[in-house]
């Protein structure tokens, strides 16, 4: 027996994201962020154990809520609709590409200040000292990393664990963004959230990199260059998951990513990934196109996996 409701729901949810993108108001992820932030302010201690309890409680709560909703919806059509709504709620590929398009338009119009202000929609870097090349590089890097985090990651977990997997993955990824970074407040408290996110993205990041390799010709790149950059440079990145993705995108686009980065009050010198020049403004368009085709391919694989694998699970 095959699980066509889950497969149809994942594909339909990705389609809804393409048509509607994220809602401007009342987004479920934003509502969860508000709840998680309020909870963190109450329970925060400079303790790994407390941080682990916080992360596990919120993640397991999301998974249990998803499981409860799934059990209540018994009809196949209802299960497909529930999966589609959950997928739409946690996938953010269209909004990501729209932000990239907005950055491209601002930089092409030579509106440097506008582009600096807009960068916060994509990442938390300090844009004040970034020039056109720096903003283009930051945008391409953010598109690459978020293709895995905002699209492929939820699809993978939705394929193997249904609605509970979709919701739990988004909670883990959101908590990592909120408390998983290295700062005096979260160095210990956010440790568990960061490690959970590393685990949750092990498979999605490598799937994203692999798809970028295979689909490189669609953006004028060569699979051999993409796989070479991935194998040679992916492990150099401080993130075990962002590294393979950014390196594969760099190789596929024929550019070099990495270098100086200012973030959260600190300056880092990131390793260089890929070969060729630093990204240009036009490379933002190519990166967004690569993100789109990777997302579609991942959606097809997720739907096929759910159809076959989840249908055979008891």
Q: How would residue 193 be classed by pLDDT, with cut points 50, 70 and 90?
A: very high
SS3 of residue 260 by DSSP: strand
Q: Is a pLDDT exceeding 70 seen at residue 1?
A: no
Residue position matching structure tokens 């092990």 = 202
Q: Would you state the pLDDT for residue 310?
A: 65
Q: Give the C-alpha separation, 156 to 149, whole Å.
A: 11
Alpha carbon of 185 to those of 48, 49, 178: distances in Å? Answer: 12, 14, 11
Q: How would residue 108 be classed by pLDDT, with cut points 50, 70 and 90?
A: very high
Query: Across the chain, what does the average pLDDT equal?
Result: 94
**243-278 residue pLDDT tens:** 999 999 999 999 999 998 877 667 788 999 999 999
CB 197 within 8 A of CB 169: no
Q: Would you state the pLDDT for residue 265?
A: 64
Helix residue ranges, H only, 183-240: 191-200, 202-215, 223-233
Q: Would you state the pLDDT for residue 2?
A: 75
Q: Would you state the pLDDT for residue 117?
A: 95
Q: Would you state the pLDDT for residue 183?
A: 86
How many structural domains comprise the chain?
1
Q: Is 223 exposed, middle or buried (0-12, 13-18, 19+ CB in 10 A)?
A: middle
Closest listed residue to residue 41, CA positions, set 179, 194, 197: 179
Q: How would residue 148 be classed by pLDDT, with cut points 50, 70 and 90?
A: very high
Q: Give the C-alpha separation, 61 to 22, whole Å.
A: 23
Residue position matching structure tokens 């998983």 = 180
Closest listed residue to residue 298, CA positions, set 149, 97, 138, 153: 153
What are the tokens at 267? 């300056």
pTM over 0.85: yes
**203-222 residue pLDDT tens:** 999 999 999 999 999 999 99
Sign of CA dihedral 64, 65, 71, 77: negative
**7-64 residue pLDDT tens:** 999 999 999 999 999 877 778 888 999 999 999 999 999 999 999 999 999 999 999 9
**121-137 residue pLDDT tens:** 999 888 988 999 999 99
Which range marks the domain in which residue 236 is found? Answer: 4-312
Q: Is a pLDDT exceeding 80 seen at residue 202?
A: yes
The proportion of the chain whose per-residue pLDDT surpasses 90, expressed as a percent, equals 87
Return all residues near 40 (Cβ < 8 A) that are at least 6 apart. Answer: 54, 178, 179, 189
Q: Would you state the pLDDT for residue 169?
A: 98
């Amino acid at each position: 027996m095959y699980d066509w409701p889950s497969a149809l729901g994942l594909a339909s949810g990705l389609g809804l994201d393409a048509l509607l993108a994220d809602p401007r108001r009342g987004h479920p992820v934003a509502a969860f962020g508000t709840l998680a932030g309020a909870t963190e302010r109450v329970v925060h201690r400079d303790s790994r154990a407390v941080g682990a309890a916080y992360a596990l409680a919120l993640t397991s709560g999301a998974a249990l809520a998803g499981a409860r909703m799934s059990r209540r919806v018994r009809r196949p059509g209802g299960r497909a609709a529930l999966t589609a709504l959950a997928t739409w709620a946690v996938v953010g590929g269209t909004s990501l590409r729209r932000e990239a398009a907005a950055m491209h338009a601002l930089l092409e119009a030579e509106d440097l200040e506008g582009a600096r202000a807009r960068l916060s929609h994509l990442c938390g870097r300090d844009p004040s000292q970034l020039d056109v090349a720096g903003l283009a590089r930051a945008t391409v890097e953010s598109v690459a990393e978020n293709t895995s985090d905002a699209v492929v990651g939820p699809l993978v977990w939705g394929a193997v664990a249904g609605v509970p997997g979709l919701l739990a993955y988004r909670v883990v990824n959101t908590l990592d963004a909120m408390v998983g970074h290295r700062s005096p407040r979260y160095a210990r408290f956010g440790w568990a959230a960061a490690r959970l996110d590393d685990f949750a993205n092990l498979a999605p990041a490598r799937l994203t990199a692999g798809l970028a390799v295979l689909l490189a010709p669609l953006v004028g790149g060569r699979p051999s260059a993409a796989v070479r950059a991935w194998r040679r440079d992916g492990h150099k990145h401080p993130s075990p998951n962002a590294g393979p993705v950014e390196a594969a995108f760099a190789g596929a686009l024929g550019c070099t990513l990495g270098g100086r980065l200012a973030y959260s009050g600190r300056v880092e010198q990131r390793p260089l990934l890929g070969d060729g020049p630093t990204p240009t403004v036009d490379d933002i368009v190519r990166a967004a196109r690569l993100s789109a085709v990777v997302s579609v391919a991942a959606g097809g694989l997720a739907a096929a996996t759910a159809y076959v694998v989840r249908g055979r699970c008891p």
